[in-house]
A and B are shown apart, each in its own frame.
Chain A
């Protein structure tokens, strides 16, 4: 690690920190296909990007502001930060067949397990 990186991480006052929120996620599925459901309220379908690099699945999403210009906030609970989720996958995934859908603020990524990673029974001679 270069010294430049460590320096900026300790200098929290000046470093331009982008604060991210780690969204809640759930994993369902069977041995052939897994689905990762990432809860991203307020994120439109085009607001999320999914990247798969080796075994790292990265989901980044930006929220659009859910309030009008110039309105006074009376009570705030919903955070305005963008989302970032990085998961390390335990098995290889068939990259050609990955798909994702978004519904009601939940992004569902369908990850088919690569053929060679599926369990197979071995016949005993």
Chain B
């Protein structure tokens, strides 16, 4: 017996907004069948730039911290790993990997990463000599 009566997607008063949003952003599924057409993606990534550092945020719901590898080589940040969902016969195992090019003005020794609520936030501080500086005019 199915738990959900019927997906009242079309009777939902928010349905037309949901359809538009889903088409624009896809859903939050990690490794949906439809998303396999772009194997280099698979999860969404945002990147931000501040005065002192860059920040890369990856959306990885359901993936535990120890399943994620973050490596930085030259100016390329790679987030990868593998995980299996479900147990026993229903276990689905998949690998994910995505590389993002960051600026070359980062201090590689000070890069840190935080994992909270399924969001991985990587902070890449800029190297001291490359930070924007104000120059006084005599």
Binding site for B on A (CB under 8 A): 9, 17, 19-24, 27-29, 31, 34, 36-37, 39-44, 55, 66-68, 70-79, 81, 84, 86-91, 102-106, 111, 119
From A23, A84, A90, A103, give the contact of B28 (CB < 8 A): A23
Q: Which of B5, B28, B64 contacts A21 (CB 8 A)?
A: B28
B14-22, B70-78, B128-136 - the one binding chain A: B14-22
**Which B residues are within 8 Å of any A CB, using their own CB?**
1-8, 12-14, 17-18, 21-22, 24-25, 27-30, 32, 44-50, 54-55, 57, 59-65, 86, 90, 100, 115-119, 121
Docked Cα-Cα span, A55 to B6, in Å, equals 11
Contact A68–B117 (Cβ < 8 Å) = no
The A/B interface has a contact count, at CB < 8 Å, of 148
On whether A67 and B118 interact (CB within 8 A), knowing A21-B25, A36-B3, A78-B59, the answer reads: no
Main secondary structure of the interface of A (DSSP, over half): loop
> What residues of chain A lie closer than 8 Å to B47, measured between beta carbons?
73-75
- 26 A-B pairs within 8 Å (CB atoms) are namely A20-B17, A21-B28, A22-B18, A22-B21, A39-B30, A39-B118, A40-B117, A41-B60, A41-B119, A42-B59, A42-B119, A55-B5, A66-B57, A71-B48, A71-B55, A74-B49, A75-B45, A77-B59, A78-B44, A79-B21, A86-B12, A88-B5, A104-B64, A105-B117, A105-B118, A106-B118
